[in-house]
A and B are shown apart, each in its own frame.
Chain A
Amino acid sequence: MTGSLERPVIPAFELVDVHYAYPGAPALQGLSLTIEPGQRVALLGANGSGKSTLLRLLDGLYFADRGTVSAFGEALSEARLQDDATAFAFRRRVGLVFQNPDVQLFCPTVFDELAFGPLQLGWAKDEIRDRVAATLAEFSIAHLKDRPPHRLSGGEKKRVALASVLILNPEVLLLDEPTAGLDPQSASELIDYLVKCQGSGRTVIAATHDLDIVEDIADRCFVLQSGRLAASGAASEILDDAALCRSAHIAHAHYHRHGDAVDHHHHHRHTSEAAHGGLPQAAAPTKASQTS
């Protein structure tokens, strides 16, 4: 917890002792956490730790077997979402970008994909056309308007996916493994976007494996392990805790190369210097530290 003076603010999400199980496989086993509005949050954890399940609970697609999930101060339950008005209001306020682009992009063309959300929420057709045109321009995908999804590159698919969710201007943006499968250029564009979200008022919750980007895209991290909250805190705190990273299976040692960067700055931990493979002589790493 941040520990500073807080005005009573309705949390964006509040989970209390949430349990959720797939047939034959428990996913969340007593998860409790709170996400404040406007925060940028990263969900970390190994595969099977419950990150995707959590995102779907937050989006009102799954409902907890036990425990409570609250969104914007009100309980998020299947019964409440039966009502059309409540459901539409909620859907407008929370958007989820799925990991698999084949799932996220299910419409015949990019235009249809962007128009889908507004159509479901019952906007006027002219307004939809205008809004779609504006969003296409905003994401620089106007030239892709009539393309079917199978004719898009990975990076283009991600932009379309984001655009189709953000066209509704949701207060909360949920992202499941946003940089997975993206080429470096597209990934860095996405990261830039998420960086800019800081202070925009939009709550961003991203589940990710990619430790390199966590400090850029998130102010706060939650580490999930076996369906429970193993740790929470500022991104740098979590990443500095090597023991935690190892036990939660989120750290990894790998070989990579830096260019002629004078300022050598990386965000993850190496198990040994040798694994680092050829550092350019000049710079002392500003944030790196060896594990003892």
Chain B
Amino acid sequence: MAKMGMCDCGPSYAGRRQRGGAFLDRLAGGLVHAMDRALDADDLARRDGLLQRLDPRVKLAGLLGLIVVAVFVKSLAVLGGLFLVAVALALPSQVSLSRLARQIWLKVLAFTVLIALPAVFLVPGTIVARVPILLWPVTLQGIRSATFLLGRAETAATFALLLILTTPWPHVLKALRVFRAPIVLVAVLGMTHRYIFVFLESASQMFASRRSRMVGPLSPSDRRRVATATAGVLLDKALGLSTEVQLAMASRGYRGEVRLIDDFHATPLDGVALAGFAAIASAALWLQA
């Protein structure tokens, strides 16, 4: 219900294309985008798919385990295989290839290429080619190294995204208890996530109201002031909110000991899935040796 998005001021918005406005757009745009993406993830997690049907504890252990394996393997072929496993898990879970590409593959590619590309030329080793005109040496080791980087980054990110898109966040947190995460941590994580949305909305509203009151372009020092003032107000709100929430918790009986309850029900499918994850992990580790 709570639909969040950029303010739809229509013509007046387009008309006020000042530099200051653009700055506030960028400032706020990232925030709104984050909220939208989170809401999106929430929707996907409720659809009926392969991964959605699994117990969150199994998913957490399995997918995180595969991420660790992906970082562990020393063979490019096995890494490629793991990537294919990730894609194979995505499709029956209602996570389309285009979504994967849009949300992570391209993003990770853009970032990793920046870092990995120079490696192709800089890493010492056997030269296999030279860039025409510039004559920079392209080494085999450089190519392998860049491929490892890219492969690991993409594979790990895909598994992580699958976990998040197919499991409601509060369930991910409670599943952390399986790894003996301290209960305080789980409680704090849950509450933090809850309040991130409150503050994202606050900050967006503050920016939107500033933008609507702006007449001319903002100088750089003005922009800094806007950003830091918003951050200051946000911090103030955050601390004030925490005192009020403490009272609200006390009012319902909280005395300092955190207690949680989960609604998890493991089914035989989960046993099969767990075995499957373990099999893939062991196969990967064995094959790469």
Contacts and interface: CB of A to CB of B under 8 A. Distances in A.
Q: Is chain B in direct contact with chain A in the complex (CB below 8 A)?
A: yes
B191 A106 contact: yes
Contact of A120 (B190, B194, B245, B254): B254
Contact of B197 (A96, A109, A112, A150): A150
A117 B248 contact: no
Interface string A151-173: 11100100000001100100000
B33 interface: no
Interface residues of A, number: 42
A233 interface: no
Contacts of B263: 111, 129
A151 B194 contact: no
Contacts of A148: 42, 169-170, 193-194, 197
A107 interface: yes
A96 B122 CA distance: 65
B213 interface: no
A116 B190 CA distance: 13
Interface string A107-136: 111011001110111000100110000000
A102 B250 contact: no
A39 to B, nearest CB: 21
Interface in B230-276: 241, 244-245, 247-255, 259-261, 263
A108 B251 contact: no
Contact of A108 (B169, B198, B247, B252): B169
Contacts of B190: 107-108, 112
Given A108-B194, A120-B255, A165-B252, A103 B261 contact: no
Interface in B183-197: 190-191, 193-195, 197
A108 B170 CA distance: 6
A137 interface: no
A145 to B, nearest CB: 9
A87 interface: yes
B66 interface: no
Interface in B52-107: none
B252 A152 contact: no
B281 interface: no
B1 interface: yes
B114 interface: no
A264 interface: no
Contacts of A59: 251
A100 interface: yes
Given A95-B251, A152-B1, A128 B244 contact: no
Contact of A119 (B197, B241, B259): B259
Interface residues of B, number: 33
A153 B1 contact: yes
A92 B241 contact: no
B29 interface: no
A92 B170 contact: no
B7 interface: no
A153 B197 CA distance: 14
Interface in B32-47: 39, 42, 46
Most buried by B among A87, A116, A152, A156: A116
B236 to A, nearest CB: 15
A91 B253 contact: yes
Contact of B248 (A103, A128, A156): A103
A158 to B, nearest CB: 14
B168 A146 contact: yes
B255 A87 contact: yes
B244 A100 contact: yes
Contacts of B42: 148, 151
B17 to A, nearest CB: 31
Nearest to B260: A119
Given A61-B251, A112-B260, 15 more contacts: A61-B250, A91-B253, A95-B252, A98-B251, A100-B244, A103-B248, A107-B191, A108-B173, A108-B194, A129-B261, A148-B42, A148-B170, A148-B194, A148-B197, A152-B2
Interface of A: 56, 59, 61, 84, 87-88, 91-92, 95-96, 98, 100, 102-109, 111-112, 115-117, 119-121, 125, 128-129, 146, 148-153, 156, 164-165, 168
Interface of B: 1-2, 39, 42, 46, 168-170, 173, 190-191, 193-195, 197-198, 201, 241, 244-245, 247-255, 259-261, 263
16 contacts: A87-B253, A91-B251, A95-B252, A106-B249, A109-B168, A116-B249, A119-B259, A119-B261, A120-B253, A120-B255, A121-B253, A128-B261, A146-B46, A146-B170, A148-B194, A151-B1
